Amino acid sequence: MPRAAAPATGIAGTPSSLLRSTLKAGGVAAAILVLVYLPAEYGVDPTGLGSVLGLTEMGEIKQQLRAEAEADAALAASPVPSVLPREVLGRLDRIEAEVAAIAAAVGAQAPLPGDAAGTDASTAPEAEPAEAAAPAEVAEAPVVSATTEPAPAPEAAEPAWRDSYEVTLAPGEGIEVKLAMEEGQTATFAWSANGGVVNHDTHGDGGGQNVTYEEGRAVPAQEGTLTAAFTGNHGWFWRNRTEAPVTLTLQTGGEYLEMRRP
């Protein structure tokens, strides 16, 4: 006679064991959120572990890509202004006034055809109209002198550069270069896309802190100074949003520990 199968046995869960398991799972999820997800997705690193693992930089790049995509969409949706800037209109008005003044001066000095044909050696007194035209020329002289532009100021001496870096970015490619700086240090910089344009984000991070100094789209070149808001890495992220390769050149000087580049 065959034996009957023995009933399956198990461990019955108690409310306290279920609560402990739930708390453990919640703790693990919170740790993953703080240590991995926030640094990798949003560049938020409250513990500093994300910077060590390279997750914070990944999150910052993702945020920059999102911001660039939103800016591109907003630019595509906005209409292109058809009104010329006020400065250009004022310059056109000044040019028209100068042309009119010059035309009036030339017209006042030009002799009439009838006078040229009828002039004779015996009619010397008729040369007086030429003298009468002289006041008109003197009156117009201030208008012509007003167009004289001031001499350009002497160019300042170029700063001494400590480091230089050049890289070619393919369409859609980005790169980040930073300077290791102490709080309050000031570095000088100059970068150029050498005839092209790039999007850039000047920012800093370190010790769980983040700061954005400036952002720009389709910028051909820039130069100036960068003062560290805190001790950490401060520098630039560039991306080529054009359809052609762009050669980027960076020169730096001033106060910083070292240049950190790929």
User: Domains of the chain: which residue ranges?
Assistant: 19-75, 87-117+128-145, 163-260
| 171: three-class secondary structure by DSSP | coil
Q: What is the mean pLDDT of the chain?
A: 79
Mean pLDDT of 51-61: 82
Q: Select the more confidently predicted residue: 72 or 124.
A: 72
Nearest to 236 by CA among 213, 253, 220: 213
pLDDT given for residue 157 in this prediction:
58
For residue 232, give every residue at least 6 positions away whose Cβ sits within 8 Å of its Cβ, in sequence order, or none.
180, 181, 204, 205, 206, 207, 209
DSSP single-letter state for residue 228: -
pLDDT given for residue 59 in this prediction:
79
Q: DSSP string covering 122-160, please?
A: T-GGGGHHHHHHHHHHHHHHHHHHTTPPPPPPPPPPPPP
Does residue 5 register a pLDDT over 90?
no
pLDDT digits (tens, 9 = 90+) for 17-27: 888 889 989 88
Architecture of domain 163-260: Sandwich (2.60)
pLDDT digits (tens, 9 = 90+) for 92-128: 788 888 888 887 777 666 555 555 444 444 444 454 5
User: What is the distance between the alpha carbons of residues 39 and 205, in angstroms, rounded to a whole number?
Assistant: 12
pLDDT given for residue 119 in this prediction:
46
pLDDT digits (tens, 9 = 90+) for 185-223: 999 999 999 999 999 999 999 999 999 999 999 999 999
Can you give the pTM of this predicted structure? 0.46
Pairing state of beta strands 186-192 and 209-219? unpaired
Percent of the chain with pLDDT over 70: 71
Q: How confident is the model at residue 175 (pLDDT cuts 50, 70, 90)?
A: very high
Number of helical H runs and strand E runs in the chain: 7, 9
